Structure 1
Amino acid sequence: MSGQAYIGTSGWNYASWRDDFYRGVPRKNWLGFCAERFNSLEVNASFYRLQSRETFRRWRDATPAGFRFAIKGNRFLTHNKKLADPLPVIRLERDHAKGLGEKLAAVIWQLPRPFRKNMERLHRFARALKAWPQARHAIEFRHDSWFDEEVAECLRAHRIAVCQSDAADWPLWDAVTTDMVYIRLHGHDVTYASPYSDKALSQWSRRIRRWQEQDCDVYVYFDNDASGAAPKNAMQLLRLVNKSQYSRNHI
């Protein structure tokens, strides 16, 4: 048995993709267009504004049965409150996200770059996530003070994944703390902009296959949205992972 790989982009409603990736596709059909090419998407808009249950339900109905969403936790809890008093916000987001039903796979909580290690708040946050058992959870740390065994042990105890966050402007922590691996590829050379090379994508493909063989489900989202690099890279990586899967199944 091996884990599943879910690959897509972080968001899909980018006007800059209109004349290339979405050429000739009406805006109202962009989600469906992506769902024909990827098997998952990360909802980036939920970070900036709480989405209604009806919006989530509409997205659920516009995608095929096996499709999965990850949603980004709202910045009110991660950036404004710095994880303080997390339970009311988690419950509110959980209730809105019920509109996605079984298509909600994971929630990614991105911490602000200056936010340094605070174990009291992390423990409280991890315990509060028990109120949202319908989804898996991952945390994206952007300050390396978090990158240690004490943090990893807390995450392992609560089955929370480290988000492996590749960017030019902050360090990547490649720890694996549960049977879900969550990856955000923001652009290695220029954050949010630079495309990934064939060599880099091949390296990520090999890592993904290794984690799958360890029975981990792997979620990968490209956030290098400038100039349409994200959807192109996502399609490339999907082809590589699927090719590797096919080759191993036919040895």
Structure 2
Amino acid sequence: MHSATAWVLFLAAAFAGTAAHADEAGAEKLLKGMSDYLSAQKAISFDFDTNLEIVSTQDQKIALASSGTMSLNRPDKLHVTRTGGFANMEMVFDGKTVTLLGKNTNLYAQVEATGTIDQLADVLRDKYHRPVPGADLLMSDPYKELMAEVNDVKDLGSGVIRGVECDHLAFRTNDVDWQIWIAQGVRPYPCRYVITSKKVAGWPQYTVDIWAWKAGAEVASDSFKLQIPADAKKLTPEEIRELSDIPALFSGKGAN
């Protein structure tokens, strides 16, 4: 009797291990399919909503919401707008210069940044602390960027975002957990991307919802030029942090 029970438990454990491996492989295949689709698109545009959770200096978790638009032409053109309760920002990159305009503060900055969108995202994040919303998804190889340091993968089945049926995947690294919802069908674009910062007290999250997706010939033409008001004050590159859309009232630690 005991040997029969042990055999059943052994088979159950073996089956669970096989299922987990298949689950991981399937999730990685779905993510790779999304990445290949995104990389193949020379022109992309979409609208987005973001929700940035921060933990204030008083240990209060607060969510800051904003909405915006994104348009890109690979390899070196990008146009982003973002409006929230505390900021009205616009950014344009033409392959040589990145221009940032704070419409509510009438401040702007221009920085030489010759290169690709990949290189721009790295410079803005690492040097100027101005990450592009969902930047990993805009890179030339999203799969490579997203899977770096991943140590756990799960396929959580189907989910629905804004009426679009998606594959819901979850991933873990030592520092962050992240989830992604990928539209099912011939256009596997990301509908939602959530990052949870495990190294920050309170585990704040950063969420991007993507909608009004267009690719290829669907994308409206964009000059990738930014009109600067005549009375706007120009900041030096070192002063770019003054364009922050997080007011001092809420200064604290946020999701990455």
Q: What TM-score comes out, normalization by structure 2 length?
A: 0.28
Q: Which protein has the bigger strand share? A: 2
Between structure 1 and structure 2, the one with the greater Rg is 2
Q: Which protein has the bigger helix share? A: 1
